Structure 1
Amino acid sequence: MVAQRIAVVGAGYVGLTTAACFARLGHDVVCTDVDEAKVDALSRADIGLHEPGLARSVSNGLRAGKLRFVHGAPAELSEVDFVFVAVPTPTGHDGAADLTAVEAVLEQAGDRLSPDCVLVIKSTVPVGTISRITALARCPGVAVVSNPEFLREGHAVEDFLHPQRVVVGSEDEAAARRVAALYAGMDAPTLITGSASAELVKYASNCFLAMKLSYVNTLAELCEELGADIGDVTQGMGLDQRIGATFLTPGPGWGGSCLPKDTQALLATARAAEVDFSLLDAAIATNDRQAHRVAAKVRAAAGGSLTGVPVGLLGLTFKAGTDDLRDSPALAVAELLAAEGAVLTGYDPSATADRCAGPVCVVASPYVATENASVVVVLTEWPEFAELDWARMACGGRPVIVDTRDLLPARKVREAGLRLISMGKPGQEQRHHCE
């Protein structure tokens, strides 16, 4: 493999992972960001993220001289073969993606690029963005390519180095193949297509997963009404290869930095194209109701009122394996509980103790979070929660456990003398005395 000169603009989850992993593959990478303090920290290999393997990849890249971090739009942009744009595209006031950061990159860097450079958009952008950028490009000869990312927080390095697929889209096929060649040697199917199709693949994938989760959460509610077990139902569904076993676990709702943003953006795109995408609209509405459904379970567990009730929360991040609190369904539930007067103490393996996350006082131990609680709510699927000493918890305050992730070992919890309320399970509450 011939080492390429790559610039990555944006040092967030996607940009930093892209830069570190390309350096790991032997390319010469410069990563730039507008946050000078972040650049200084990254230059010391202080990544400030809970992302397995990423700090080590950054450190190794710096030490090998394959990775550098700089502030702003450096002169080196004129000397690279590829510029990857990985800046945020948050939800705008109308639900569509806000491309302000992408446009700022083009404004600052556009006239610095050499004619042989390929401009690669990693940011999630609406369909038609690549075509618009190509038309507005200030450097004749610079090809613009879509190369959407499919990185899961908590697995970003693994997903980059061992992708399930590589998607590259452009009307300039030669440029698209140059980008695809950067991933040579990875055992993954590569799709080279037009820019509009590549842009839509990312939205279509995330929105399908969101709809699948909303479907399962509604199915769990139906199971409770009919006396069925959601675990058995989804196990039977998942054995069908057309459906698959992933994203079939009920929970407090979906969140994070991607699904809420991308569902809104695709819905806005559909409306602009005058396409009725009521299926996606319903999935979003279902997810909005899910936090209220969880809050109702907690209220019922507390006896009908949450005023002054101490509630312990286990898990605050939007999913296990990350420290990301953005659009966390756990915090959405916490806000509803606090609005009803609950006193919230929480623990998360990745959250700093002795601070607040919204209305939650964060502590350093799951036992501290739950020792005086009347109700304990499991909100994030951290595996360690399944290994807690439930007998110790029962002797401390005998709380009711609301497990929104169906994570806990039901038999052990009930044998410890605790009442367990799960998602999508038939009535199975038992009480035992603490020895």
Structure 2
Amino acid sequence: MKIAVLGTGYVGLSTGVCLSEIGHSVICIDTDEQKIKSLRQGISPIYEPGLETLLVQNAAAGRLLFTTSHREALIGAEIIIIAVGTPQRDDGGADLSYLEQAAKDIAAHLVQSAVVVLKSTVPVGTNEFIEKIMEDQCNERVTLEMVSNPEFLRQGSAIMDTMQPDRIIIGFDNEEAAMKVQEMYRPLNAPFVLTSIKSAEMIKYASNAFLATKISFINEVANLCGVVGADVEDVAKGMGKDKRIGESFLQPGIGYGGSCFPKDVKALLHTANLHGIQFSLLKETVAINDFQQELLVTKAIKRFGELKGKKVAMLGLAFKPETDDMREAPSIKIARSLAKLGAEVVAYDPVAIDNAKKILRDTIRYASSAHEAALDADAVFIVTEWNEFRHLNLEALMNIMKQPIVFDGRNCFGEERIRACKKIEYYPIGRPSIIIGMT
């Protein structure tokens, strides 16, 4: 099939690359000329394991092209995938301005009938809204059929999630259009969920909101474990073995972040409010997450009394490992809180420093390694669970610190690793603190 993809962010680029990998002819469109230039040179604008390799291979094979021209991309396209951003507005709702522009661009340049697949995360009713924009502006000889096909990609594993999806949601009004989209995805051998367009739109928000709630729940359990002396990781393991609960998203920490969970939870709340539904559970999910993102700072204040003049090494900036994405990352709130309290913050992340600088600017300093950040530090904050941090030589790290104190927001170290140190204060999440060799 010939497929056009509007948008070359995480979703659009991952989708376009993977569809070309399974044999389709794909052309990706973006209005950012510099981004398209880089993509044509085989350079991905985002850090995503495995993405750039597939990009280069499929471009070389002639199955994957990049352009800024809608006319060039849309000629002959059987399926048009819209994967532009829907960022959060100040009131919590989704900003659909990029989506509206994409619809207008399609209408202005499309000369043949096609199936339009909306992959962007959107509130219920958006497909209908976008379809009307295109119908009002399209050539009357052109017929468009809408299909809602929400994505479920995770940064850091977007290629695997695209190539091996748990399910593919297809929301449709026209059965022929749905069959066309099924055929596009057929090589993936994934189960299909066929439903109405509005139900498909809701599935995406409901899924992410449930996972965010699961994270907030285990974090509340962790906070209780920390008070009563239980070990939250043992509790989570025992819970997760129950098939009704499952092991995923039961890892305690300092809250969720990224481009999806915070935005989607608030967007679902916004929709609920518009329809007079008091979604109290989601309100509490947000409140718990806000509290959790400040937890390491709260623990540090309890330990030191005040943080003015203290040097804090912050290990991790991205909202999760294997990505350079800083959107809604807990590190942002932590860094700003520490700086406001007078602490000197020196941060290190394997890939996210450049993006962090755009947000935090000169609020903190940056190091080129974990050891450089920790040199003469009064405390280390572990904010992102990169494998590089899990495999640190703790004894060596403690020896170069002014005070060997670790606040681990991701529980990167087991008790055995900690007790192997000659001198350390270790404060995890939802597990007993360990203090060795301190006077």
Normalising by the smaller structure, the TM-score range is: over 0.9
CA contact (8 A) 1:121 1:148 kept: yes
Aligned: 1:407 with 2:412: yes
Question: In structure 2, what is the equivalent of residue 88 of structure 1?
Answer: 85
Is the partner of 1:429 in helix, strand or coil?
A: strand
Q: How does 1:244-263 map to 2 (within 5 A)?
A: 244-263=246-265
State how far apart, in whole Å, the 1-side matches of 2:121 and 2:347 are.
33
Shift of 1:299: 1.9
Paired with 1:75 and 1:391, the residues of 2 have a C-alpha distance of 59
2:99 corresponds to 1:97: no
1:167-186 correspondence runs (5 A): 167-186=169-188
Higher mean displacement: 339-348 or 387-396: 387-396
Deviation at 1:130, TM superposition (A): 1.1
Which residue is 2:121 aligned to?
Answer: 124
Tell me which residue corresponds to 2:235.
233
In 1, are the aligned partners of 2:324 and 2:355 still within 8 Å (CA)? no
Cα deviation, residue 61, structure 1:
1.4
Given the alignment of the two structures, is residue 65 of structure 1 paired with residue 65 of structure 2, yes or no?
no
- Report deviation, 1:189: 1.1
Pairs within 5 Å for 1:1-400: 4-138=1-135, 139=138, 140-301=142-303, 303-352=304-353, 356=357, 358=360, 359-397=363-401, 398-400=403-405
Aligned pairs, number = 429
Name the structure 2 match of 1:420.
426
CA deviation digits over 1:11-32, x for unaligned, max 9? 1111111111111111111101
CA deviation string 1:299-319 (max 9, x = no partner): 223x11110100001111000
Per the TM alignment, residue 192 of structure 1 is displaced from its structure 2 partner at its CA by: 1.1
Cα distance in 1 for partners of 2:61, 2:72 equals 22
Unaligned runs of 5+ in 1: none
Q: Distance in 2 between the 1:128 and 1:389 partners?
A: 53
Equivalent-residue separation in structure 2 for 1:209 and 1:155 (angstroms): 17
2:317·2:329 contact (CA, 8 Å) conserved in 1? yes
- Contact in 2 for aligned 1:230/1:425 (Cα 8 Å): yes
Q: Is contact 1:353–1:363 with CA below 8 Å preserved after alignment?
A: no
In structure 2, how many angstroms separate the alpha carbons of the residues matched to 1:56 and 1:254? 29
The answer (yes or no) to whether the contact 1:410–1:420 under 8 Å persists in 2 is no
CA distance in structure 2 between the partners assigned to 1:269 and 1:355 by the alignment? 31
Decide whether the 8 Å contact of 2:317 with 2:356 is kept in 1: no
Question: 3-state SS of the aligned residue for 1:337?
Answer: helix
State the distance in 1 between where 2:417 and 2:2 align.
Answer: 56
Deviations, residues 194-231 of structure 1 (Å, cap 9, x unaligned): 10011111111111011011111111111111111101
Measured against aligned partners, the alpha-carbon deviations of 1:412-431 in whole angstroms (never above 9, x if no partner) come to 23331111001001343332
Aligned mates of 1:244, 1:318 — CA distance in 2 = 23
Cα pair 2:317 2:353 within 8 Å, conserved? no
Distance 1:76 1:380 in 2: 39
Moved more, 180-189 or 206-215: 180-189
Contact 2:71 2:109 in 1 (8 A): no
The answer to whether the Cα contact below 8 Å between 2:225 and 2:231 also exists between their aligned partners in 1 is yes
CA contact (8 A) 1:351 1:362 kept: no
SS of 2:146's partner is strand
Q: Cα deviation per residue 1:338-375 (whole Å; 9 max; x = unaligned)?
A: 11111001111113489846123221110001111101
CA change 1:354–1:322 in 2 (3 A) is closer
Measured at CA, do residues 38 and 391 of structure 1 come closer, stay the same or move farther in structure 2, by a change above 3 Å? same
Give the aligned residue type for 1:428.
Answer: I
Asked if 1 retains the 8 angstrom alpha-carbon contact of 2:318 and 2:324, the reply is yes
Aligned residue for 1:92, secondary structure, equals coil
Letter in 2 for 1:312: A
Structure 1 residue 432: Cα displacement: 6.2
* Distance (Å, rounded) in 1 between the aligned partners of 2:354 and 2:217: 35
Measured in 2, the distance between the counterparts of 1:428 and 1:199 equals 47
Structure 1 segments (4+ residues) deviating >6 Å:
none
Cα distance, 1:276–1:309 mapped onto 2, change above 3 Å: same
Percent identity reads 39
Query: What RMSD over aligned residues (CA atoms) do the two structures have, in Å?
Result: 1.7
Give, in whole Å, the separation in 2 of the partners of 1:424 and 1:113.
56
Whichever residue aligns with residue 435 of structure 2, its letter is: E
Please tell me whether the aligned partners of residues 408 and 426 of structure 2 are also in contact (alpha carbons under 8 angstroms). Answer: yes
Distance 1:143 1:314 in 2: 48
Query: Residue 141 and residue 18 in structure 1: after superposition, are their counterparts in 2 closer, same or farther (change >3 A)?
Result: same
CA contact (8 A) 1:114 1:142 kept: no
Structure 2: segments with no counterpart, 5+ residues: none
